[in-house]
C-alpha cells in the first residue's frame, strides 16, 4: 500500500535522517521525497511517498519518539470523499464530474448540493445524488442548517465550492477547517466578492484570472492553492470576460484539487507550501 507522510517542524540538522531512519526500521520503501525550508520562519516541510505494510499508529508513535515536536499527517493514498456545492453555473461542476468519472482526479463525488434545482439532470446523469436545498424564504442560519444536514449525511473529507455563490458563515466554515476549497473568479487578492469581472472591466485590466483557495472566516481570504490568468484587451466587455474566464476557472479548480487530493499542499499561516 502507498502512503503520504507530511511533516512540519522547526528546521534543524538531522530531520531527514531521523524520519527516513524510522521508515527504514519499519521496512518501508521511500518512492518520492520532497523537502523545503522556509528560512524566514525557520520552518521545515517534507512530503514523503512510501510503500509497504504498516500499523499506522505505531509508525506515528515511532517518529514522535525520535522527534516529539514535529507535526505529522499520515495519509493512505486513496480517493477522497467529496461533496460539491453549486448554485446555477454548470461549467466547473461538469468538468469535475467528467474528471472524476474517468479517473483524472482522485476523488469520489458523494453528492452535489445546490440552492437551485437547475443542475439536477446533469448530476443524476452521472449516477450521483443531487440535493436541492432551497434558500427561498429562509434566513441564513436555517438554510445553512439544512445544508449541513445534507453534507453530514455523506461524511465527506472535503467540500468543493464549484461556483457556490453564497457566503458561508464562520460557524459553518469552522466545522470543516482546511477542508473547504473554493474557486473564485478573479486573481485574488484583487476583486474580492461579487461581480469580479464587472470590477475588472471597470478597471480596464489586461489579464483576468481565477484563484482556488481554502475557505476561512474572511471572504475570499483563505490560503491560495493555485491561480491562472489569460490575456484580454479593451475590446472585451464584462460579459466577454465572464465567458473567457470560465475555462480558466475549470483548469485552476481541477489543478488545485489534484494537488490537495494527492496530499501535496501544506498550510502555513495564511499561505500554502506546495510540492508539485
Just list the catalytic residues: 220
Strands 265-268 and 271-274 turn out to be antiparallel
| Peptide bond just before 135 cis, omega within 30 deg | no
3-class SS of residue 74:
strand
Euclidean distance between the first and the last CA atom of the chain, given in angstroms as a whole number: 21
Q: Specify whether the CB–CB gap between 167 and 192 falls below 8 A.
A: no
159 CB burial (10 A radius; 0-12, 13-18, 19+): buried
Q: Side-chain half-sphere of 193: how many Cα atoms within 13 Å?
A: 1
Sign of CA dihedral 145, 146, 147, 151: positive
Nearest CA-CA partner of 114 in 80, 75, 162: 162
Report how far Cα 47 is from the mean position of its chain's Cα atoms.
17
Nearest CA-CA partner of 231 in 246, 241, 222, 223: 241
Structure-block grid coordinates of residue 181: 476549497
Residue found under cell 516529539: 68
Q: Specify whether the CB–CB gap between 153 and 116 falls below 8 A.
A: no
Amino acid at each position: 500500500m502507498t502512503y503520504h507522510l507530511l511533516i512540519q517542524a522547526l528546521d534543524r540538522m538531522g530531520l531527514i535522517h531521523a524520519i527516513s531512519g524510522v521508515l527504514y526500521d519499519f521496512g518501508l520503501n521511500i518512492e518520492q521525497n520532497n523537502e523545503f525550508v522556509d528560512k524566514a520562519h525557520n520552518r521545515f516541510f517534507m512530503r514523503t511517498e512510501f510503500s509497504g505494510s504498516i500499523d499506522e499508529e505505531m509508525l506515528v508513535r515511532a517518529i514522535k519518539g525520535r522527534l516529539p515536536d514535529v507535526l505529522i499527517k499520515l495519509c493512505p493514498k486513496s480517493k477522497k470523499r467529496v461533496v460539491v456545492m453549486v448554485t446555477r453555473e454548470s461549467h466547473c461542476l461538469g468538468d469535475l464530474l467528467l474528471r472524476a468519472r474517468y479517473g483524472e482526479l482522485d476523488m469520489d463525488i458523494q453528492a452535489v448540493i445546490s440552492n437551485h434545482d437547475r443542475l439536477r439532470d446533469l448530476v443524476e446523469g452521472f449516477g450521483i445524488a443531487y440535493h436541492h436545498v432551497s434558500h427561498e424564504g429562509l434566513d441564513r442560519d436555517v438554510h445553512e442548517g439544512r445544508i449541513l444536514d445534507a453534507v453530514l449525511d455523506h461524511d465527506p473529507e472535503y467540500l468543493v465550492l464549484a461556483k457556490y455563490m453564497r457566503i458561508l458563515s464562520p460557524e459553518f466554515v469552522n466545522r470543516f477547517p482546511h477542508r473547504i476549497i473554493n474557486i473564485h473568479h478573479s486573481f485574488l487578492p484583487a476583486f474580492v466578492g461579487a461581480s469580479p469581472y464587472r470590477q475588472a472591466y471597470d478597471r480596464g485590466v489586461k489579464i483576468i484570472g481565477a484563484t482556488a483557495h481554502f475557505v476561512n472566516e474572511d471572504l475570499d481570504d483563505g490560503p491560495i492553492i493555485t491561480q491562472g490568468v489569460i490575456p484580454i484587451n479593451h475590446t472585451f466587455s464584462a460579459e466577454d470576460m465572464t465567458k473567457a474566464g470560465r475555462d480558466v476557472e475549470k483548469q485552476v479548480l481541477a489543478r488545485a484539487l489534484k494537488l490537495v487530493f494527492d496530499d501535496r499542499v501544506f498550510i502555513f499561516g495564511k499561505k500554502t507550501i506546495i510540492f508539485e
